[in-house]
Copies of this chain bind each other. A is one copy, B any other.
Amino acid sequence: MINPLTSPLLTDLYQLTMMETYLQTGMDKTAVFEFYVRKLPGNRGFLIAAGLNSALAFLENLQFSPAEIDYLAQTGRFSGKLLDYLSSCRFCGDVYALPEGTVCFANEPLIRIVAPLPMAQLVETRLMNFLHFETTIASKAARCVLAAGGKRLVDFGLRRTHGAEAGTLAARATYISGFAGTATVIAEKLYGIPIFGTMAHSYIEAFGNEEEAFVAFGRANPNNVTLLIDTYDTLKGAKAAVNAAKRLSKEGIKTQAVRLDSGDFLALSREVRSILDESGVPDIRIIVSGNVDELMIRKLEADEAPIDAFGVGTKLDTSEDAPYMECAYKLMEYDGKPRLKKSSGKATLPGRKQVMRCYRDGKMVRDILTEEGDLQEGTPLIKKVMDQGKCVSPPPDLTGIAVYTKSQLESLPEHLRELAVAPSYPVEIAPSLLRLRETAELAIG
């Protein structure tokens, strides 16, 4: 059985037809490809690089099984030469990348692949698939984290993610960016991410009586009591939660929170807070979910809504306002010579690049995009992560990445922390790169 999550057949046909030609014509010299975002979506001032872990695991494990080779053979589309190449191929290139969790901008390479041309071409589709999606979600999640000003955020999006892998990768990407956890059970098993969740409206409906539903839940799940109070009428639900909490308290069971999933969250959270406080259960917290995104969080925070945590789902995990980014995996060098594309609106800067970041008083002030090895002011961000197909170090643990991301977000210029996209952050292009482009342009026949 072929598993699309790991099969090298999860690729575009043109990778194979190009490889066919490369092998027939002996074009197997070293190629340099870089993946970068061409242009930030209009409402993004910065990105959080993510997906490198998935990308490296893909490269390390890349292998065609005999069944996959047989499949390709029986299509009659490919030469024996290509099939032989694929049967024995393992990724043997060098990889350079921005560490996961790094703040980055348009035109800055997230990854550079240095490998024989057929191999570097073969890996394009899945590398883009990972880096594009995980960066998209980590970037959206970082906006939620900045808006929430330290309040707890939990990923609730699995039901509306685009398939299973989107669900698991979204749980990971949001955790990197500072979420406390996810509702997705398998994310705990796969990544060790804390998981959260208690009850849905159907649960209340099945009982019909809110207070009895709440008490039964507390007894069955005494360490995890968050009560959903908006099934029929939120304020009546809050009173039912108070009654249930008092009954459960006598049995030694603590009610941690109530959850609101619909309505006017500002008004309702205030009224519910009053009910809880005036009823002698001020320790019960308020969680809000339902169509939440960073703009809603920011508004509720500005209005000082008495909300203690947010469940953020669909709009986050589909990156609803920017579900894709203009991005590209482009040939920058082949056989030692810089290469470029001039297509309208999609022209490339050739060469192997480094990003230098300049700081002032702990805040990032500008980046310089330059040729690797060109001495420029600042701290280099791109690091070697794979040597001849082997990772140069074990993957950093997820908590470590989250800590790094937090420090990256703290170093953002203030307007980007406030989610303003203007002025855009300055990314200068070093003269050496512009000269390289001129050279490459002259070389096109």
Contact = CB atoms under 8 A, between A and B. Distances in A.
A411 interface: no
B331 A158 contact: no
Given A2-B190, A4-B186, A221-B17, A12 B198 contact: no
A342 B4 contact: no
A270 B184 CA distance: 51
Interface of A: 2-5, 7, 9-18, 20-25, 27, 31, 33, 71, 75, 77, 79, 117, 121, 124-126, 128-129, 132-133, 156, 158-169, 183-186, 188-190, 195-203, 205-209, 216-217, 219-221, 223-224, 230-234, 261-264, 314-315, 318-320, 323-325, 327, 329-331, 334, 337, 339-346, 443-445
A400 to B, nearest CB: 23
A9 B189 contact: yes
Given A13-B183, A186-B4, A186-B7, A163 B160 contact: no
24 contacts: A4-B165, A4-B168, A9-B189, A10-B158, A12-B156, A12-B158, A13-B197, A14-B183, A17-B198, A17-B220, A21-B203, A25-B220, A31-B202, A31-B206, A117-B206, A129-B163, A133-B161, A160-B324, A162-B162, A201-B330, A201-B341, A208-B339, A231-B342, A320-B324
Q: Which one of A221, A334, A337, A342 has the highest number of Cβ atoms from chain B below 10 Å of its Cβ? A: A221
Given A16-B185, A21-B220, 14 more contacts: A4-B167, A4-B168, A10-B186, A18-B198, A21-B203, A23-B220, A27-B206, A33-B202, A161-B162, A164-B165, A165-B166, A231-B343, A262-B346, A263-B345
A184 B217 contact: no
A185 B10 contact: yes
Given A13-B183, A31-B206, A185-B16, A4 B201 contact: no
Nearest to A219: B24
Contact of A132 (B16, B160, B344): B160
Contacts of A208: 337, 339, 443-445
Contact of A184 (B12, B186, B224): B12
A12 B197 contact: yes
Contacts of A167: 4, 10, 129
A129 B183 CA distance: 14
A13 to B, nearest CB: 3
A129 B159 contact: yes
A182 to B, nearest CB: 9
Q: Quick one: copies of this chain in the complex? A: 2
Contact of A232 (B2, B315, B444): B444
A114 to B, nearest CB: 14
Sort A-B residue pairs by CB-CB distance and give the 4 closest, nearest first. Answer: A163-B165, A13-B197, A14-B197, A162-B162
Nearest to A125: B159
A203 to B, nearest CB: 5
A382 B232 CA distance: 29
A129 B198 contact: no
Contacts of A329: 159, 202
Nearest to A165: B163
A86 to B, nearest CB: 12
Given A202-B33, A220-B25, A324-B318, A344 B230 contact: yes
Nearest to A201: B341
Contacts of A18: 198-200, 202-203, 217
Nearest to A327: B160
A115 to B, nearest CB: 13
